[in-house]
Amino acid sequence: MMWLWLIPIMIYVGYWWLMDRYFHSNESLGVFSDNEFFKCSIVICVFNEERNIEKCLNSILLQKEIQNVVEIIVIDDGSQDFTYEKAKSILEKSKLPFQLIKNDVRLGKKRSIEKALQLSCSESDWVILRDADTYTLSDEWWIELQKSLKETTDLVIAPVITEYHKGNWISYLQYFEGLALMHLTYASAKMHKPILGSAANLVFKKKRFLELQPYKDNIHLNTGDDIFLIQKVKKAKGKITAHFHPNAVVYTYAPCSVKALIQQKSRWLSKTQYVKDSFNSLSALIIGGTNIFFIPMFLCSFKMALISLILKTLIDFKILISVQKKLNLKPFSYVYFFIGELVYILYVCALIFKFLFSIQRK
């Protein structure tokens, strides 16, 4: 009977083994040549991003082949610092067409995106969303995204990686979680059941967005600008692809404290209660449920808990290595990985209990 304790972890291992099969399945992008460039608007919604906007914009302005086919739209949602002035100084020195929009009052990211699209160049067929706290290491990010744009495609999900710093365990924890989410993002898209994506690096047809109005029913929520768009395209039977290549990666910063980390993830988790997707719910149940199950397992059977932890560590290591190799990321510390495996169980439990408590209070 004691071996029944292993059932949850075997489901967990089986789930990630299946995801890894899809992750490594072949996918062809077809033929690409320079004359296939589509005109795009790169939209960056900002709020108090004075510290980050310069690095973000410079990483875009340094992209190859970006002239004559791109406009940059920075929409400042009522910042209380010098974000607007810094963005203006950088953009005015560039040779790219741009629009710098200032909201008199804070509208929220969704309304800002809608406003930016309404004001965008009429010749722009595609929109690329970037966050102000992102940057690229490659000067071929723009070219790489262009390879994924097809007339038959409605939305393209591209990779976002959280940077880590040696000695900072919070950034390592975010890095490992981010790799797992990128694995699930890519695998689920190749299954034709995309459940994740980040507006920090997302591409979509402007015409399709305006037709679907993805924020019409959720404009009051201060999160979900990415997942609600993905779900709306899915519901409309649109084509969604994921383009994972080292040159397509954008990097973002990890929250600097445990409190900031919990607040960020709680905000992200809150949108899941508004998403009606069976595969999304199944994935959350398997991943969240398995981590929670470790608590009673350790109390009731240390031996079974240890075996389960070893199995979980092995499959987790496999999926993280898959993403690292796919995106050509720098090697991570194995010591921090093993520590992270233990900390992550408590971290997930804390997030889920906080989420359930907030629902109960409502």
Name, of 21-30, 132-141, 260-269, the range with top average pLDDT: 132-141
Q: What value does the mean pLDDT of the chain take?
A: 87
Alpha-carbon distances, residue 230 vs 16, 85, 99, 120, 206 (angstroms): 22, 33, 26, 21, 14
Burial-class residue 104 by CB neighbours within 10 Å (0-12, 13-18, 19+). exposed
- Ordered structural domains, the chain, with CATH: 36-138 (3.90.550.10), 148-200+228-362 (no CATH)
pLDDT of residue 17: 96
Closest by CA to 230, choosing from 199, 269, 190, 186, is 199
CA-to-CA dists, residue 287 to 98, 145, 162, 275, 280, angstroms: 43, 30, 20, 17, 11
**2-6, 136-140, 177-181, 199-203: segment of lowest average pLDDT:** 2-6
Average pLDDT over residues 294-298: 85
Instruction: Give the distance, in angstroms, between the CA of residue 259 and the centroid of all CA atoms in the same chain.
Output: 20
Q: What's the mean pLDDT in 6-18?
A: 93
Tell me: pLDDT of 223 over 60. yes
Task: Indicate the Cα dihedral angle 128, 133, 138, 142, nearest 10°.
Answer: 10
pLDDT in tens, 23-69: 998 765 554 545 568 899 999 999 999 999 999 999 999 999 898 88
Comparing 165-169, 205-209, 312-316, the range with the smallest average pLDDT is 165-169
Residue 62 or residue 270, greater confidence: 62
User: What does the pLDDT average to over 159-174?
Assistant: 85
pLDDT on residue 31: 47
Digit-coded pLDDT (tens) for 195-220:
889 999 999 999 999 999 999 888 88
Q: What is the pLDDT of residue 164?
A: 86
Q: What is the largest CA-CA distance in the chain?
A: 71
